[in-house]
Amino acid sequence: MDSANQVSTLEALSAAQSTMSDLAGFCERNPDTCQTGSAALKVFGQKAQYGARKLYEYIVEVNSDSGADETISVYGGIDTLLQEDKDIPWQGPENQG
């Protein structure tokens, strides 16, 4: 990389601070845009929560319908724990050292 394209740490920090300053005043300059963006993020968050809830319900339903040997998990479909790992009794904080 040639020296003309290099940015010093101080220049990068200054640019980041300027950007944050500009973003902080964005909603003052564009209240309608901020209001619309806020509403869109709220709807997106609600849809994400709904999707996560449906996924959880599906996993619970599949696990309750299937045998112990075929547990569906969020991580790729099949339970990867060995039976010997599952047989270890629970050791909550009150039971440890």
Q: What per-residue confidence (pLDDT) applies to 46?
A: 94
Query: Per-residue pLDDT averaged across 18-43, rounded?
Result: 89
Count CA within 13 A, CB hemisphere, residue 83. Answer: 3
In a domain, 5, yes or no: no
Q: What per-residue confidence (pLDDT) applies to 50?
A: 93
Indicate whether 69 pLDDT > 60: no
In a domain, 3, yes or no: no
Q: What is the 3-state secondary structure (H, E, C) of 60-71?
A: HHHHHHCCCCCC
User: Model's pTM, two decimal places?
Assistant: 0.41
Between 11 and 2, residue with greater pLDDT: 11
In a domain, 60, yes or no: yes
Q: Total domain count for the chain?
A: 1
Parent domain of 48: 41-66
Closest residue by Cα to residue 72 from 64, 63, 81 = 63
